[in-house]
Structure 1
Amino acid sequence: MLALSAETRDVAPQAERAFLTAAHRLIAIRVRPVYAMNERQPVSTTLRLGRGSCSQRLALLEAVARSRAIDTRVRGLLLDGRFWHPRFPLLRALIPRHVVLAWPEFLLYGRWVSVSELYGDLGTLRAGGRFTNTGGMTLFDAIAHTAVDWDGGTCSSCDLSGHVLADLGYFHSRDDLFEQHGQTLCLPVRVPADLIMSRRSARTRTPARPRR
């Protein structure tokens, strides 16, 4: 954690947004995206392993923000499990019907800013096109390139509000959210699933060139 904060120490103290985007880019480089299931994994473990799910990498970004004295909170969203069908076309039967998502917000210059808008307002980011939840781009990566719009406030092509079954409100921390609403998978299912999926990369590999 301290190492990540140290690598962004050259960012001006008043440039909180620039600090967070720099930290986001560092995490994207240092922590390999996988399909881990433990929503309450300590950020120190994620950093030590060098791999983590979208949720685990977002938790790491929140921790780095707090190390800079930037307050954080999360918005709880209950998503339709079908949102992940395009990413796991062969495992649809195993995807839970409902998924609890912790979506971070940061207190910047006196107002709460969603992680969706770290790189700019959603109206500008929508030029990056729709997030399709396929291929190598995860939600963590997508916020730097396109509008991740859970409220349908931008345009129809970037509107993800149809996947939101319920807005669970705001929580002081993701631990508070999961304490109240539970993790997506119960413990007996989560442990074996995590052992398998936490080593599965979320990035697609470039196909090998055929030998001549």
Structure 2
Amino acid sequence: MPRRRGNAGGQASNGNGSTAPTYVLDWQSPVVAELAGTLSEAAERDWLRQAHSAIAARVRPVYALNDLQAASKTIRRGRGSCSQRLAVLETLARRHGIPTRVEGIAVDGRFWYPRFSCTPWLVPHRVILAWPEFRIAGRWIPVGELFGSDDVPSKAFTNDGAETLYDAIGRTGVSWSGSCSDGACDLSGHVLETLGYFDHRDELFARHGQTLCLTARTLGEPLMAHRSAGAR
């Protein structure tokens, strides 16, 4: 059975979350307001689902490398990594008054090998992931539970082909904790370490650093930021 690995206890903040803007979650930006204005009023969970779909339509998936890119920049560019697209979702949520926080997860780089089958040596051994949670009706809901239901069997996410992790969230539950009964959505076997909860992703990456060093990001970004997800 896949299982969650050890916790790096004592490294995170209190993880209370908030609706405050940050450098990455810059919801006061006009371009964020414009995208939010395209969404219809709805219950919070339905509104977040609507926002997820709007981002998927507006921001195409690429292998961008900068986890600290401002959400407004991702929207303006119209392309972004899973991490950057999730940051846009968090930003819209905070603008709408929905508190967010992130769980820091260190994921085994082999999880991404199917996308780089010809060049697996390009993939870092350890990838730091900021996994958002949203405060709805008094409880924290992980982004992987916004759409999915354990009652409906679904095709497993293989991290291969055109479907990205961000896109998979829109059709099935996705869990890094092994908490779902549907094995198709259980990614806990890829977790190396949990890093705790943080008030926002800026704090997580300030504490633990981004997956790639500045030199690697600087050299790789011009190429990878234009490479569509699913491209070999």
Fold match by TM threshold 0.5: yes
TM-score by length of 2: 0.83
Identity value in percent: 54
Aligned partners of 1:107 and 1:202: how far apart in 2? 30
- 1:147-184 deviations in Å (ceiling 9; x for gaps): 21211222434321110000101000000000000000
Could you tell me which runs of 5 or more consecutive residues in structure 2 were left unpaired when the two chains were aligned. Answer: 1-31
8 Å Cα contact 2:148/2:169 also seen in 1: no
Aligned partners of 1:4 and 1:105: how far apart in 2? 21
TM-score by length of 1: 0.91
8 Å Cα contact 2:63/2:228 also seen in 1: yes
**Is it true that 1:11 corresponds to 2:41 in the alignment?**
yes
- The residue aligned with 1:143 is 169
Query: 206, 209, 214: which one pairs with 1:182?
Result: 209
Query: 186, 194, 207: which one pairs with 1:159?
Result: 186
Q: How does 1:1-212 map to 2 (within 5 A)?
A: 1-8=32-39, 10-12=40-42, 15-121=43-149, 123-124=150-151, 127-153=153-179, 154-203=181-230
Could you tell me which runs of 5 or more consecutive residues in structure 1 were left unpaired when the two chains were aligned. Answer: 206-212
Distance of aligned partners of 1:87 and 1:203 in 2 relative to their CA distance in 1, 3 Å threshold: closer
The residue identity in structure 2 corresponding to 1:11 is E
Aligned partners of 1:109 and 1:178: how far apart in 2? 28
Kindly state the Cα deviation for residue 34 of structure 1 after the two structures are TM-superposed: 0.3
Aligned Cα root-mean-square deviation (Å): 1.4
Distance of aligned partners of 1:193 and 1:204 in 2 relative to their CA distance in 1, 3 Å threshold: closer
Give the secondary structure class of the aligned counterpart of 2:85: helix
Aligned partners of 2:44 and 2:87: how far apart in 1? 17
Instruction: Pick the structure with more helix per residue.
Output: 1
Aligned partners of 1:147 and 1:16: how far apart in 2? 18
8 Å Cα contact 1:62/1:104 also seen in 2: yes
8 Å Cα contact 1:34/1:197 also seen in 2: yes
8 Å Cα contact 2:62/2:79 also seen in 1: yes
Distance of aligned partners of 1:195 and 1:124 in 2 relative to their CA distance in 1, 3 Å threshold: farther
Q: Number of aligned pairs?
A: 200
Q: Higher relative contact order by CA 8 Å / sep ≥ 6: 1 or 2?
A: 2
